[in-house]
């Protein structure tokens, strides 16, 4: 991703980027892709019925990560409270998805990979939230 390169050129940023928020944006997009892929892989498994909750949380998490990345990317008229609330929501979605995927990780490698991506995104969201001026 080139979030750092792009955001640092924004006229309202003037090169002063929040590195934790940039990392979070990148982790959000990565997690969204991973969760979407995991849901698709779950649908291809023979025991798909036992993965229903995992699929649901994968899709919910992917949507939340995607919108969190988009909102955090916008710098014009940036609303810090909105960003903090989205970071909290994203962290919660990632935690729930990771916990569910971890239940299936020994049987399905895609669930293990997804749980790890969710944990990375959760940590990035928490770090970004702490880095923002209150």
Mean pLDDT of the chain: 88
- Predicted confidence at residue 80, as pLDDT, reads 85
CB atoms within 10 A of CB 65: 32
In angstroms, the CA 23 to CA 127 distance is 9
CB 23 within 8 A of CB 128: yes
The domain 18-131 is placed in CATH, from the list 1.20.1270.360, 3.30.420.40, 1.10.3720.10, 1.20.120.160, at 1.20.1270.360
More confident call, 29 vs 1 = 29
Write the DSSP string, the chain: --HHHHHHTSTTTTT---HHHHHHHHHHHHHHHHHHHHHHHHHHSTTGGGGHHHHHHHHHHHHHHHHHHHHHH--TT--HHHHHHHHHHHHHHHHHHHHHHHHHTTT-HHHHHHHHHHHHHHHHHHHHHHHS--
- Predicted confidence at residue 75, as pLDDT, reads 66
- Confidence bin at 133 (pLDDT 50/70/90): low
Asked if the model's pLDDT at residue 16 lies above 80, the reply is: no
Write the DSSP string, 77-102: T--HHHHHHHHHHHHHHHHHHHHHHH
Predicted confidence (pLDDT) per residue in 38-77, tens digit: 999 999 999 999 999 999 999 999 999 999 999 988 866 6
Domain range list for the chain: 18-131
Q: For the residues 8-30, what does the mean pLDDT come to? A: 74
């Amino acid at each position: 991703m080139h979030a750092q390169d792009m955001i640092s050129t924004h006229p309202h940023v003037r090169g002063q980027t929040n590195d934790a928020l940039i990392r979070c944006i990148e982790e959000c997009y990565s997690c969204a892709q991973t969760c979407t892929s995991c849901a698709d892989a779950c649908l291809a498994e023979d025991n798909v019925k036992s993965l229903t909750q995992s699929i649901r949380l994968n899709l919910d998490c992917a949507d939340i990560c995607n919108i969190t990345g988009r909102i955090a990317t916008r710098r014009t008229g940036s609303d810090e409270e909105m960003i903090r609330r989205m970071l909290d929501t994203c962290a919660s979605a990632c935690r729930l998805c990771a916990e569910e995927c971890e239940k299936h990780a020994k049987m399905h490698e895609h669930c293990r990979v997804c749980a790890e991506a969710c944990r990375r995104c959760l940590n990035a969201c928490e770090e970004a939230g702490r880095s923002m001026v209150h």
